[in-house]
Amino acid sequence: MSKEVKIPENIRELTRGYIPIDFKLMPEEEIYSVLKMKLSSKIRDFIVVLLIGLLGYSLYIFFNSKLSVYDALPPIIIFLTTYFIWHYRITRDIKHLFWNILKYSFYLLLIGYGISFLASYLKTILEAFTSTLGLENLPTPKFSLNPVENTYALIEYILDLLRGYIIRYRDILGYGSIALVIIALIAIPLIYFYVRGRRYYITNKRVIVRQKFGTIQVTTLPIDGIIEVTAFQGLFGRIFKYGDVIISMTSGSGVLRSLTPEDKSISSGLYRVKRKIEGIENPWEVKDLIIKLREEYIEAQYLKRIEEELKAIRREIKREEIEEDVEEEEDREE
């Protein structure tokens, strides 16, 4: 075995959380690394959960307020922030982050302009529609090139449309807001225990993933089935020192349920599946380790096949020599 790949001296300390159901070592199998998911790798999830709780609290205050535009601004801002953070969970760098913020701010601005323009253009139809709802004196929003005035008028118009329903169902909406806060409080410890239950073992024959969160799931990725290994660190990953290792596997009998399937494609009758080892320290070193172990495993299997072929050749030569000796002995007897 290569001297570049070494078994860590503190392997017993690293495997302290090992349980027998995780896996059992095969013949000539050795553990080279034990990895835990970092709690900081779920910083985005914690932020989203906290924002959901804050959204519930702000909605509760809004439903019990005068229902003005200024009362509606906090929940609107929190909702948009929550959606943006959740939807763009993979951010390559700060430039990419700010570009997305500017891009979608521009989209929202165009949507606001479009709605206000249509409302002004279809003023007669909207007034007829609102009169059927008993809102005869409801003013139609006027189109303005000033984005602040335009947005303010649009939000005010929507609130005027919904004010009667909000007042009528204020108690139910308040309970729903409280439910959001409770869900956020419950989700925080669930995320913590999810991270605590995730562990990765890397041996010279396979990569093993153990997930213990209520139930226990153990997934084995054979080293010889790996065709590509990629390491990735996003913006948060570089800040909090964690990253992901994406392993491309092949399967000829179908795609099994993976940890985080990123891509599926078929090539020459084989499925190609990408599985992710997420939230670990030193993803670049782990990537190099997996590649090195794969090369050594394939080389060892290749040498083993050559050795078996040489043994078969020796047996065949020995058999032929024995047959020749027997023939020579028979010739002498004749």
Residues 188 and 259 in one domain: no
Q: What is the pLDDT of residue 30?
A: 82
Rounded to two decimals, the pTM is: 0.69
* 92 neighbors 234 (Cβ within 8 angstroms): yes
pLDDT at 325: 67
Asked if residue 131 is part of any domain, the answer here is: yes
58-117 pLDDT tens trace? 999 999 988 888 898 999 899 988 888 887 655 555 666 677 777 777 777 777 777 666
Percent of the chain with pLDDT over 70: 71
Residues 173 and 256 in one domain: no
Residues 24 and 82 in one domain: no
* pLDDT score for 183: 95
In-domain check, residue 203: no
Report if residue 243 sits inside a domain: yes
Residue at 330 is within a domain: yes
Domain that holds residue 14: 1-37+214-334
> Can you give the pLDDT at residue 22?
64
> What's the pLDDT tens digit per position in 120-144?
666 565 555 555 655 555 566 665 6
**pLDDT tens, 239-278?**
888 999 988 887 654 443 334 334 444 444 455 677 888 8
Specify the number of domains making up the chain.
2
- CA atoms of 260 and 198, how far apart (whole Å): 13
H-state helical runs in 30-93: 43-63, 69-87
pLDDT band at 21 (very low <50, low <70, confident <90, very high): low
* 114 plus 25 within the same structural domain: no
Q: Does one domain contain both 242 and 333?
A: yes
Residue 77 lies in a domain: yes
Q: Is 80 exceeded by the pLDDT of residue 181?
A: yes
